[in-house]
Every structure is written in structure tokens, then in C-alpha cells.
Structure 1
Amino acid sequence: MVETETATGPVIVERRSSGGGLLIGLVLLIAVIVGAVYLINQNNRENIKTNAVTSAAESVGDAAKDVGGAAKDAAKKID
């Protein structure tokens, strides 16, 4: 409340907020939370993909070792 003095008497001006700023702030907060959840989920999905590729690569490596061992055994039998 602002009070000023004039020649005819005091003038009182009341300022009231409509709450628009609070609403905008709430909407922005919700948007930030939704964005954070999305980014966390995206990161988790990438980690799952990376782990799957790593596991597949290890399986291929193990299979290659088995094939190499079988080839060595076959070569020894031929000699």
C-alpha cells in the first residue's frame, strides 16, 4: 500500500498481484522437472544399450577363441 499526501487529503493506492507470476513460475518448474526426468531416462537407455553391445562383443570374442582352439587342435591332428 502506498500513501501519498495531496492538497485534498491522503491518496491510498493498493497494489494487488493477480498471481500470474506465480503461475508462470510453477509452469517453468514443472517443465524443468519433466526435462530432467526425460534426460535421466535417456541416459539409462543409453547405458542399457552400451551394456548389451559390450556383452555381445564379449560373446563374439569367446566364440572366436573357441574356433581358434578348435583350429589349433585340427592342425595338430593333421601333422
Structure 2
Amino acid sequence: MTEERITETTRDPATGSTHTHTTVVNDGERSSSGGSRWGLIIVLLVLVIGAIFVFSQMSDAEVAKDEAISEAANDVGNAAGQIGDAAQDAADSISD
């Protein structure tokens, strides 16, 4: 925004007093309106909601990964139990 200041000084020859007058002229540009402020608020709100959504999806993926690991560990435990039972059966059949 451009601003021009015009200062006029007048002197009264009879009394010797001076008078100063300043005029300020603007180029006509206005400051931003409230509409751009609301637009910025809406954009920020959308970004916050998007961030919350992304982080919640990441959390769901972490839970799914943890459940898969738990299930795999359970399967390994069951397989170990079956091997132990087979070994016991083999030992029993040799003893008989």
C-alpha cells in the first residue's frame, strides 16, 4: 500500500505566525477482508482433520500388525505342542 504525505506551510506576513497542514493520500488498496481470514481458518481446519484421520489409520495398522504377530506366535505354540505330543507318542511306542 502506497502512502503519500503532502505538507503545506503557510506564513502570515502581518503576524509572522506559521501554519502547517499535512494531507495523507492512499493509493486506494484496502486491507484484507474477513473472507480471506475465514478461508484460512477453513483450510487449517481441513488440515487438522486430515492429520487426525491419517494418525488414526496408522494406529489401526499398528493394531492389525500386533494381532498378526500374536496369531503367528500362537500358531508356533500350537505346532510346538503337536511336536511334543508326537515325541511323547513315539517314546511311548518304543517303550511298549
Same fold by TM-score greater than 0.5: yes
Which structure features the higher share of helix residues? 1
- Unaligned 5+ segments in structure 2 are 1-29
Higher relative contact order (CA 8 A, sep 6+): 2
What is the total number of aligned residue pairs between the two structures? 65
CA radius of gyration, larger in: 2
Which structure features the higher share of strand residues? 2
| CA distance in structure 1 between the aligned counterparts of 2:51 and 2:32, rounded to whole angstroms | 29
Percent of aligned pairs with the same amino acid: 38
Q: C-alpha deviations, 1:10-56, integer Å up to 9, x for none?
A: xxxxx985122111111110000000110111111111111111111
| Runs of 4+ residues deviating >2 angstroms | none
TM-score by structure 1 length?
A: 0.74
2:39 equivalent to 1:34 = no
TM-score by structure 2 length?
A: 0.62
